[in-house]
Structure 1
Amino acid sequence: MVRRVYRWLGWKIAIAALTLVCCLGWLPPAAASKISDFPRAEALTEESLADLESLYQAALAATQNGNFVLAEDIWTQAIALFPENPASWSNRGNARMSQNKLQAALEDYNQSVTLAPDLPDPYLNRGVVFERLEDWDAAIADYNQALSFNPQDPVAYNNRGNAEAGARQWQAAIADYQHAVDLAPAYAAARANYTLALWQNGDLPAAIRQMRNLIRKYPQFADMRAALTAALWQTGQRGEAESNWFAAVGLDRRYKDLTWVQQIRRWPPVAVEALDNFLAIR
């Protein structure tokens, strides 16, 4: 999960519209920082500040509308006005990653980290790129760095769990997902990841209980309805499996695409295989 869209006037947060995983997660606010804290900020005129604010609003609107090409262009303009601002580099990296421009996004995140080496969020965003590149060790290192700045960040624990899952370190992933949930009980995405990791680790009954609990709380949680479909089909509860499947695809048709489930949503192998079996028989 990419962490945030930063705003230079206080580092306020808006959630980037990158669909790597279900969007039921909860993101806590970042530590405030003023534009005057950045190098050469005092050289900015009131007119430049107004221009930056205007660009921020336009980039945020483009991001919310899913127009990442336009958002990238706007962040490029912001960088030209104030290249010392790490937020603009990180935000352009978000826009580029949303277009699957992974190397270009990595370069932007590297620059953001260089400009703000003591802030956690550029490391979180760069870690997601490393995950997409399947460089699990580099991703885990970035999440470790983010946690060294903020050891109570549930997003960092969830993300590190994702990287550990990619590296097939299931016990470590389960522990990190659990820690994320302990810190943020309403963080549904982390609960879903924890549930799937339990299944992969051999505890299907516990996973099914967790899926049912999540669906009871979030009836439109497509990810868990699709997962429960596969789990119930595997255990022979086929009527209920079909019912959950109709609900899941009604909410999000991407779960009919096994490649998307495996490579983008990144379900663990046992869940992907179970869904494949269900889809093959249907």
Structure 2
Amino acid sequence: MHLLCLFLLTVQCALPTGVQSSTDLSRLFDDALSNSRQGNFTEALLNWNHIIDAFPDNPSAWSNRGNTKLALGDSTGAIHDQDESIKLDPNQRDAYLNRGVAEEKSKLWNQAADDYQLILNKNPRDSEALYNFANVQVVLGEWAKAQDFYNKAARERPNFAIARSSQALVAYQLGQFDVAEVELRKLIKSYPLLADARAALVALLWHLNLSGEAQSHWAAVIGLDIRYQQLEWLLNIRRWPEQPALDLMEFIQSVD
């Protein structure tokens, strides 16, 4: 989730009940940001509601409330709030990115891709938009396009480790096993705590009948992130391509 950096407007307007002064409103901003960052989303939603009541023309407040709604599982409400943010400021970048994430949660793949493309039309080097656009292409099975955009995301931000891991996973899906293995081993060397690259290498080693080394890497994966045991999480949240995900599940079944 991408929380936006909010700014406190200095315009004069009627404050809602419970917000008696600009000091109170400043406190609400601080509380909203703090609650959002700490994962206290129910409290954060109340904060954002008060802020929007006070400053309904603040696009950042709408976008942040949308992020909070999404964290609470309300993707429809999140999309609505991002829509309102964009109406207030059509030239911003963050609300389009946030709306795309909410649309992905609602499985509105083409709409999400359109939002990421709007960002890329203005800035073709936006690494987050490149990465998110590639994730959508994975869902759509557009492997070559996904690979191209992961490559671009990794090129624009060389330390974007998860983009590089995704790039290797798509190479794996396309049968480019040597390419995938080289990249995954580079990632593990540079980022030894990156569970994603280790889990991907486990799947690839299993696919290549190298089960001994696969088991040694798997022990590290389990110590880092147990979610890699869950096929639904791999496919629907992390967005692995199908072949690596199925290979990993087959490996797990072999060691249980």
TM-score, normalisation: structure 2: 0.91
The higher-RCO structure (CA 8 Å, 6+ apart) is 1
> Could you tell me which residue of structure 2 aligns to residue 242 of structure 1?
215
1:119-154 superposed Cα distances (whole Å, 9 cap, x missing partner): 111111111112222222111110111122333211
- Alignment of 1:81 with 2:80, yes or no, is no
> Could you tell me which residue of structure 2 aligns to residue 225 of structure 1?
198
CA contact (8 A) 2:62 2:82 kept: yes
The whole-number CA distance in structure 1 between the counterparts of 2:21 and 2:118 is 33
Shift of 1:42: 5.3
CA contact (8 A) 2:173 2:242 kept: yes
The whole-number CA distance in structure 1 between the counterparts of 2:97 and 2:197 is 25
TM-score, normalisation: structure 1: 0.83
The whole-number CA distance in structure 1 between the counterparts of 2:179 and 2:70 is 35
Larger radius of gyration: 2
Letter in 2 for 1:4: L
**Greater helix share, 1 or 2?**
2
> Could you tell me which residue of structure 1 aligns to residue 149 of structure 2?
176
Aligned ranges 1:98-177 → 2 under 5 Å? 98-177=71-150
The whole-number CA distance in structure 1 between the counterparts of 2:24 and 2:119 is 31
Identity %: 37
The whole-number CA distance in structure 2 between the counterparts of 1:171 and 1:3 is 27
Q: Unaligned stretches of 5+ in structure 2? A: none
Letter in 2 for 1:237: L
Q: Which residue among 162, 167, 186 is the counterpart of 1:189?
A: 162
> Could you tell me which residue of structure 2 aligns to residue 30 of structure 1?
none
The whole-number CA distance in structure 2 between the counterparts of 1:132 and 1:179 is 24
Provide closer, same or farther for how the CA distance between residues 205 and 75 of structure 1 changes in structure 2, counting only shifts above 3 A. same
CA contact (8 A) 1:130 1:139 kept: yes
The whole-number CA distance in structure 2 between the counterparts of 1:225 and 1:51 is 48
Letter in 1 for 2:190: K
The whole-number CA distance in structure 1 between the counterparts of 2:46 and 2:84 is 17
The whole-number CA distance in structure 2 between the counterparts of 1:140 and 1:215 is 30
> Could you tell me which residue of structure 2 aligns to residue 276 of structure 1?
249
- Alignment of 1:204 with 2:211, yes or no, is no
Provide closer, same or farther for how the CA distance between residues 52 and 6 of structure 1 changes in structure 2, counting only shifts above 3 A. farther
The whole-number CA distance in structure 2 between the counterparts of 1:182 and 1:48 is 48
RMSD: 1.8
The whole-number CA distance in structure 2 between the counterparts of 1:61 and 1:143 is 28
> Could you tell me which residue of structure 1 aligns to residue 2 of structure 2?
3
> Could you tell me which residue of structure 2 aligns to residue 31 of structure 1?
none
Structure 1 window deviating more from structure 2 (258-267 vs 50-59): it is: 50-59
Aligned pairs, number: 251
Shift of 1:179: 1.0
CA contact (8 A) 2:41 2:71 kept: yes
Q: Unaligned stretches of 5+ in structure 1? A: 10-34
The whole-number CA distance in structure 1 between the counterparts of 2:176 and 2:90 is 40
Shift of 1:4: 3.3
1:208-267 superposed Cα distances (whole Å, 9 cap, x missing partner): 211111111111111111111111111122122111111111111111222211221121
Shift of 1:90: 0.9
